Amino acid sequence: MDTENGFYNLLSKQVADSGDMAEVYQQTLQELELHTQARMSAVILVHQGFQVSAIKRAGHGVQLFAGESALAKHHDLPATFIKSAAYSKSLDYQINFQAEDDIWQTQYLDIHESLQVAVPIFHEQVVIAVLFLETSTDIDVQAIDEQNIIKMFAQTIGIEFEKRFLTEQAQLALAQSADNAKALHDKVIQSEHFLSLLTELHRVTIELSRSKTLNELFYRSVSLALRHLQIDRMAIFIIDQESNRMFGTFGTNEKGEVVDESYYSSVIPDHPVVQETLRRKDYVIVIEDTALQHDKKEVGRGWNAMVALWDGEQALGWIAVDNLINHRPLELHHKEVLKLYAANLSQLIFRKRQDERLLEFNKQLEQRVLERTAELASANHALENANRALESANAQLERLSMMDGLTGVSNRRFFDSSLNSEWDRALRHHKRLSLLMIDVDKFKEFNDCYGHIEGDKALQQVAMSLVKHARRSGEVVARYGGEEFAILLPHVSDQELTHVVNNVLAGVRELAIPHSASQISEAVTISVGVATLFPDNTLSTNDLIEMADKALYQAKIKGRDQAVFA
């Protein structure tokens, strides 16, 4: 016993003095060969999917494997036996027979026997590695002290493995914590900048609403944006679709000074960037590292961004901004603020035009009253028409506020309103209500691979595909947020619901949008969570959403590109 303790202490010191785990493996396998006459030994890491870390063959040095080295690729190691010892969590022996002749020629058969031993190494009752050796020692007289030596080797490497494993995990956790803290700090700063810009945007919008004329509105739009919204240079162009011409209003020169550019007029350029800007709502077109101009003369280089101004479905013109003065990068929150600014300015331009038209109309009306009292009734009728047009425009603005600007389907606000209405209706008539929660699979990887512009196009295609399968009265397709959509289906049968779900999945697959970064499919796919309830007074809309959301989570766990019914 004293001899074994002395050997254990010496082995522990030798292993502990090793510089890293590679030296631990090397020291252990060399000593193992020395004391057990092992003709082969190895260390297999169970917690890394049975990866072989080191092998020692008699008369050769220790071979270390730093990268991928699956146990299945090492044909001289008995994979089934090693895994069996790991699963049983106990030291195991087996006899290995090798024949050097034809197994049917038993008369001349040369059979070699060897003993194979597998010893599990534990960390908190979990097997993290297996120590394996093969020896030609006489099987029938395997000494107890040799077994103890093998166990001591396993215990020694296990203790050192555990210490270094825990140290490595602690270092990784510390590094991860630092990375998370930095990322959180960066997000907080970005959020603060975004909130600050939103506050300034609100103040600017209030100031702009006080403009008395359209010309004043254009001037103040440029000057206030330069002063409060971190914009270097800005210009506003108005277009006339019938004549296909564009007109300047106010802009900035190469020094960032606000100048009157109402003299400028030309045919609307047939440039793809301009045409794309005038085709898309609520979208900022950005050209990186391009020539920046003033009066058609190049004044520098930087990024140029454009966003359209809209009156309903008709483009009014566009805003152009760049970073000539301070060369600031265009952050995501700057783009969001620019989109909101364009939307607010569009409404103000529309309303100011309406005000000026109404003012001009009133002047003409007064003149006509003085000239011909008989035309008063006709003038009043025209005024009523103008008021109805204003009401219609306001109603249109309200409808637009219920739409998602990117995909053209309903937005979250409209979805919430529709869900509450359909819930109340189903409760009154004791009808069932079904909800599909849909997520575009691996969309972050898609954006990382193809870029956000292609990502937006993919979301638009997916949205249009979903709309094809929810056209009945009361059925709603909405963008729930990011790459997530929702479909609300009032009082549909199980058969109809299954039909819709299958069509939704198949419809997106048929789009065949390439997705080389997905491990699920070569094309874009979706995961669907489906839930159905008969509303009663003990439940709420949140219960339906939560059921569908949990089902969606299960669909993702099961491999995505599928639907799970709650």
Catalytic residue ranges:
483
Q: How do residues 263-293 score in pLDDT, each as one tens digit?
A: 988 898 888 888 888 888 878 888 888 888 8
Return the higher-pLDDT residue of 190 and 448: 448
Q: What is the pLDDT of residues 237-266, one digit of tens each?
A: 988 888 999 999 999 998 889 999 989 888
Residues in the chain: 566
Of 99-113, 177-191, 298-312, 452-466, minimum mean pLDDT range: 99-113
Which pLDDT value is given to residue 399? 56
Residue 225 to residue 221: CA distance in whole angstroms: 6
Mean pLDDT of the chain: 83
Q: Which fold has domain 2-171?
A: Beta-Lactamase (3.30.450)
Dist. CA 381–CA 217, nearest whole Å: 30
Evaluate whether 90 touches 74 at the Cβ level (below 8 Å). Answer: no
Nearest of 531, 534, 523, 535 to residue 553 by alpha carbon: 531
Considering only CA atoms, which of 236, 237, 226, 234 is closest in space to residue 200? 226
What's the pLDDT at 156?
Answer: 65
- Under the banding of pLDDT at 50, 70 and 90, the label for residue 379 is low
Residue percentage of the chain with pLDDT more than 90:
31
211-353 has the same fold as 2-171: yes
pLDDT tens for residues 383-436? 677 667 566 555 455 555 688 989 999 999 999 999 999 999 999 999 999 999
Going from the C-alpha of 439 to that of each of 1, 237, 278, 363, 485, the distances in angstroms are 65, 39, 30, 56, 6
Task: Measure Cα distances from 228 to 38, 200, 203, 220, 553 in Å.
Answer: 78, 6, 9, 12, 43
> 135 pairs with which residues across the strands?
38, 115
Using a 10 angstrom Cβ sphere, with 0-12 exposed, 13-18 middle and 19 or more buried, the burial of residue 68 is exposed
Give the per-residue SS3 of 360-403.
HHHHHHHHHHHHCHHHHHHHHHHHHHHHHHHHHHHHHHHHHCCE
Please give the average per-residue pLDDT across 494-506, as a whole number: 95
Domain 412-565: top CATH class: alpha beta
Higher pLDDT, 90 or 308: 308
Q: Does the structure show a pLDDT above 60 at 373?
A: yes
Q: Which amino acid is at 436?
A: L
Q: pLDDT at position 522, please? A: 94
Q: What is the value of pTM for the model shown? A: 0.38
Look up the CATH superfamily of 211-353. GAF domain (3.30.450.40)
Average pLDDT over residues 368-376: 75
Ranges of each domain in the chain: 2-171, 211-353, 359-400, 412-565
